[in-house]
Amino acid sequence: MPLTSHRQAVPTPVRHAHRRRRAATALLASAVSVCLLAASAPAVPLGIGDRLFPHLGNPGYDVVSYDLALGYSGANDQPLRAVTTIDARMTADLERLNLDFARGTVHSVEVDGAPAAFAGAGEDLVITPEDPLDAGERTRITVWHTSDPVAAGDREGGWVRTADGLVMANQADAAHLVFPCNDHPSDKAMFTFRITAPDGHTAVAGGLPAGVDRTRGATTWTYRTGHPMATELAQVSIGRSTVLRRTGPHGLPLRDVVPAEHRAELEPWLAKTSGQISWMEDKVGRYPFETYGLLMADASTGFALETQTLPLFERELFTDPARPEWYVESVMVHELAHQWFGNSVSPRTWSDLWLNEGHATWYEALYAQERAGRSLEARMKAAYASSDHWRATGGPPAAPEVPEPGRQLGIFRPNVYDGGALVLYALRQEIGRAAFERLERDWVTRHRDGTATTADFVRLASAVAGRDLTGFLNPWLYGATTPPMPGHPEWRSTARAAAPAHGPEASAHRPGGSAHRSGGGRE
């Protein structure tokens, strides 16, 4: 990450009105102690110790909100001007503070209005404020930087260049390729986006619109989230787009972002969204956010992505006549289901990914059965046949193998998609349909706007069933081989791959779980 040591002339934000104090106490925990470095020590990258992404996230603080201001020049191969403002609550005494950031030039940093020293270390931006930061304080960090949409080497994610602009694809570990942040789903925060683009362009972001400011030759759009969001779920679209608005169930504002020239052919697909939301609400309860809509991008990604309130899709998914209607709708429902499972209830660690993808795959398959006659049981039987192979090559659903260096998307494998859905099918077989459906509703209600773990799910399932399910679920979640399926003792699994089922699961598995490029994908 290129860093400049000089400080540019920039406006100074108002200093927080709290008093600095130094606590003369011992370190609170070993995970935090590494943060308390002497000012003279070299800058080092940190992390919160996630099993799959040990250097993601940073200890010692909790982000309350992000304010991300972006200036787009009109060319999607040029860096954007950016200012990221982070309000955070200190959870430990810190002499230095690390942010994740890896694709842009940092010009200057301020902490509570005062200039702060900074340096790069790995994929971290290490900030040393004038005064140490005390546990319990609220602190504002402002970073003036660029955000580069052109990837360096084969590092995936962050900005995606479209035919007419840019969109974001930050899953799993790529938000910090766009803006400085605490890039781990365990630290959710509120977001404000302010995007300035030249006339002829439209900018849309997750959340609700909060103002439009037009000046000569450019427009600034502001959006704010109504609920906390993980960094991997942030979405900004800049392009020559049309925004289509309609009303969904119980007055929910819907807005879709489509390439202007393809509006007419995409409209029939967009009209399906309201009915799909009603279908999901019948299954698990009220839609959890302030708005919803589809972002259809002119880009070749090979996947769909569940970015919060504004999921990302390839336009070609909807315009390719080779893809049957039931298949496309299944992909749509997969990303919609994520708004409950993965977005509203986010994984505490990346090993809990199956809670996102297994549930989204489950409702994708259930929708295909109810609306298109595609047998859920047949799909689960096919998944069972492949389950031992998936476990051998990618780990069990709740303990996926650590991705190879530079291949972070390697965690998005069949074991967390259909393998995760298979766990849910086995659980429904074990406790019955009524208890299972009650569990699903209780899960998204109890953990709404928060994070949760696999252990939380096992505990709640046990409470709903009225008996301890640890002994039943742990082999399904963590075992090297697949347990017998309740109600189907004749089902067999093998360590060799079975023929893939016909459906979205037969394609490449990529972020969001709804990869739709034909011909298989990376595993």
Closest CA to 466 of 439, 437, 443: 439
∠ at Cα 78 (8, 182), nearest 5°? 65
For residue 473 the two structure tokens come to 């679920």
In sequence order, what are the beta bridge partners of 451? 346
37-84: pLDDT as tens digits: 334 578 999 999 999 999 999 999 999 999 999 999 999 999 999 999
- pLDDT for res 253: 98
Residues 214 and 203: beta-carbon distance below 8 Å: no
Sign of CA dihedral 259, 265, 271, 276: negative
Distance CA 101, CA 120 (A): 9
pLDDT reading at 104 higher than 80: yes
For residue 57 the two structure tokens come to 């996230």
Q: What is this structure's pTM?
A: 0.89
What's the order of all strands across the beta sheet hosting 166-169? 158-161, 166-169, 236-239, 202-205
- Conformational region of residue 520, where left means phi above 0, alpha means psi within -120 to 50, and beta covers everything else: left
43-238 maps to CATH 3.40.718.10: no
| DSSP H or E run through 354 | helix 353-372
Residues 468 and 460: beta-carbon distance below 8 Å: no
User: What's the count of helices (H) and strands (E) in the chain, helices before strands?
Assistant: 11, 21
**In residues, how long is the chain?**
523
With b for 16 or more beta-carbon neighbours within 10 A and e for fewer, the 221-258 pattern comes to bbbbbebbbbbbbbbbbbbebeebeeebbeebebbbbb
**Do 43-238 and 346-478 come out as alike in CATH topology?**
no
| DSSP H or E run through 263 | helix 263-270
pLDDT reading at 208 higher than 70: yes
Provide CATH code, domain 346-478: 1.10.390.10
435-457: pLDDT as tens digits: 999 999 999 999 999 999 999 99
H runs (alpha helix) in 404-453 = 418-431, 433-446
Fold of 240-340: Neutral Protease; domain 2 (1.10.390)
- pLDDT for res 403: 85
Residue 194: Cβ-neighbour burial (10 angstroms; 0-12, 13-18, 19+): buried
Confidence band, pLDDT 50/70/90 cuts, at residue 11: very low
**Domain ranges across the chain:** 43-238, 240-340, 346-478
Residues 469 and 431: beta-carbon distance below 8 Å: yes
Percent of the chain past pLDDT 70, that is, above it, reads 87
